[in-house]
Amino acid sequence: MADTRQLIIVGSGAAGLTAAIYAARANLAPLLFEGHQPGGQLTITTEVENYPGFAEAIMGPDLMARMRAQAARFGTEIVTAEVESVNFKVHPFEVCAEGKRYVAETVIVATGAKAKLLGLKSEGRLMGHGVSACATCDGYFFRNQRVAVVGGGDTAMEEATFLTKFASHVQVLHRRDELRASKIMQERARANPKISFQWNVEVEEVLGSEEGKVTGVKLLDVKSGKSSTLDVDGLFIGIGHQPNTKVFEGQLELTPNGYIRTYTGTRTSIPGVFAAGDVQDSVYRQAVTAAGSGCMAALDAERYLEELKHPSHTLPPAEGARAR
């Protein structure tokens, strides 16, 4: 039989590592699984200017390395492995990684969400060097520059509208001849004089300079089959996000768009299992909000463990509580 841990954390982004820091300092001796992308989405970003505490920008990988070192300093056991399956229908809970079974009294899920991308080699090469999937994170770097946004849904309209605060012009690129966004989001974008639309086009290639900066995009007209080039300084991908919840399907209640549903804080549909960060947040998706919810999850897990020691105390049910 595997030793029963007090807490297992799945995920090593800002939420998971913050949860580990708080849990380790509370003597919960957390075990953290880093997953296939240690450090999460911030490891593929460049300069981070909006995380509190850094007067000068810090590189995303450096920020996550500092968080990891801080978690390890307080005693977090970190395993570089991806969780393959879980069983939350038994208690203690079971977590399997690389064929090995682990059990714990509580689990924090912090597996994050990834931006849906176009899948182009040039997109990957220039990610963080003019290509971005987060206007809130990177819009500030494109002051008085021309940028393009790919997509036709609410995400794209929100990104385009936000970017007009900085960019001189925003060109929305959509592969259809009408938007999928909600009416109110469409109206806001259409009414903005700094936004224009190019219909029935797909991005074939992101063009870059020898210095590794975006200079434009090569477009394909899906109706005529003709190619053209659009000069822009930045390209934002606004086609949505995919939460990393596949392994939790059938184990936790999910929202219609695949995020873990949380109640009264970070509690999930299973008492003793908590969720933090972008895996349960389809709205804010920021490093600082992820870190904040990681703190909340650790405190919720600590309180849950204390409640287990007092059987007469009734645990607050997740079902029926107000969803966040």
pLDDT tens, 52-93? Answer: 999 998 988 999 999 999 999 999 999 999 999 999 999 999
Could you tell me the pLDDT band of residue 314, with boundaries at 50, 70 and 90?
low
Q: Is the pLDDT of residue 308 over 80?
A: yes
Tokens read off for 4: 């029963």
The whole-chain average pLDDT of the chain stands at 92
Active site residue 154: no
With beta carbons less than 8 A apart as the criterion, state whether 62 and 53 touch: no
Catalytic residue among 62, 96, 138, 221: 138
Question: Would you call 132 helix, strand, or coil by DSSP?
Answer: strand
pLDDT tens by residue, 128-171? 899 999 898 899 999 999 999 999 998 899 999 999 999 999 99
Q: What is the pLDDT of residue 315?
A: 53
Q: Is the pLDDT of residue 320 over 50?
A: no
Q: Is the pLDDT of residue 289 over 90?
A: yes
Q: What is the pLDDT of residue 310?
A: 79
Report the largest interatomic distance among the alpha carbons of the chain, rounded to a whole angstrom: 72
Q: What is the pLDDT of residue 14?
A: 96
Closest CA to 261 of 248, 285, 33, 139: 248
Q: Is the pLDDT of residue 299 over 90?
A: yes
Q: What is the pLDDT of residue 316?
A: 54
Query: What is the DSSP secondary-structure string of 153-213?
Result: SHHHHHHHHHHTTT-SEEEEE-SSSS--S-HHHHHHHHH-TTEEEE-SEEEEEEEE-TTS-
Tokens read off for 54: 């850094």
Enumerate residues 6+ apart whose C-beta is below 8 A from 297.
Answer: 15, 19, 108, 110, 266, 274, 275, 276
Greater confidence (244 vs 317) lies with: 244
For range 246-251, the mean pLDDT:
96
Q: Is the pLDDT of residue 319 over 50?
A: no
Active site residue 233: no
Q: What is the pLDDT of residue 323?
A: 42
Q: Is the pLDDT of residue 324 over 70?
A: no
Q: What is the pLDDT of residue 322?
A: 39
For range 165-189, the mean pLDDT:
95
Greater confidence (102 vs 311) lies with: 102
pLDDT tens by residue, 94-112? 999 999 999 999 999 999 9
For range 176-188, the mean pLDDT:
93
Active site residue 138: yes
Catalytic residue among 62, 137, 177, 281: 137
